[in-house]
Structure 1
Amino acid sequence: MWPWSSRFRTATVTCLACGDNVSRSTAREYDKYGDRWDRTDKAFEHLCPDCHTDLCHHPRDELEDLLVELRAGEEETETFLEGYLAAVEDRYGRVEEES
């Protein structure tokens, strides 16, 4: 018998990056806390295969906490980016642009 929660899964999900609807079976689960293996009381977001491939797969330690602290999505884009760059430089050193 399937677990209770699997009975109500939708056949399609929306990619959080591009907004396309894709079949759940081809989508990639995304857990913004970086712990997709702990499934207790968790709802996942999803990425389509193309957006998942384009995603940076480097560790993102402290990133989510920094985004919450800087109120990502609540500030104007320019204000947020200025604050983000200042916080990154303060914590990790000067940001160098690649040429």
Structure 2
Amino acid sequence: MWPSKSRTETVTCLACGAERPRDEAREYDKHGDRWDRDGKTFEHLCKSCHGDLCHHPRDELEALLVDLEAGERDRAAFLTRYLATVEERYGTLEERER
């Protein structure tokens, strides 16, 4: 039997925590490849939070966050380590703008 079309799935925005009907949210794929759907589960963002995102490529960002144990240390310690690692790997912003 087919699921009822009148039933609305509710999802939670990973940025602000608001619950929204699925059709009022956007899928978020932490690997940046939402078109390859095999074996994936998606997180969701409300339309407002999705609009606030930077939509530039983030090739190595997720791996970097895992390497730096994001979410497992206090914010100040994480940001200090993040900035130092980014500068070490990619140079300063001033260097990249030259």
Aligned-pair CA distance for 1:95: 4.0
1:43 aligns to what?
41
**Partner deviation per Cα, 1:34-93 (whole Å, 9 max, x = no partner):** 111111111100000000000100111101010000000011111110100000100111
Two-structure CA RMSD over aligned residues (Å): 2.1
In the alignment, which of 87, 90, 94 is matched to residue 88 of structure 2?
Answer: 90
From 14, 18, 21, give the equivalent of 1:20.
18
Residue equivalent to 1:53? 51
CA 1:95 to 1:78, structure 2 compared with 1: closer, same or farther past 3 Å? farther
Return the TM-score normalized by structure 2: 0.85
Deviation at 1:20, TM superposition (A): 0.4
Cα distance, 1:18 vs structure 2? 0.4
Aligned equivalents of 2:93, 2:78: Cα separation in 1 = 16
Partner of 1:6: none
For 1:56 and 1:10, the matched residues in 2 are separated by: 29
Helix, strand or coil at the partner of 2:27: strand
Number of matched pairs: 92
**4+ residue segments displaced more than 4 Å:** none
Corresponding residue number in structure 1 for 2:74 = 76
- Helix, strand or coil for the counterpart of 1:90? helix
Q: Distance in 2 between matches of 1:58 and 1:10?
A: 31
Q: Does 1:32 align with 2:7?
A: no
Normalised TM-score (structure 1): 0.84
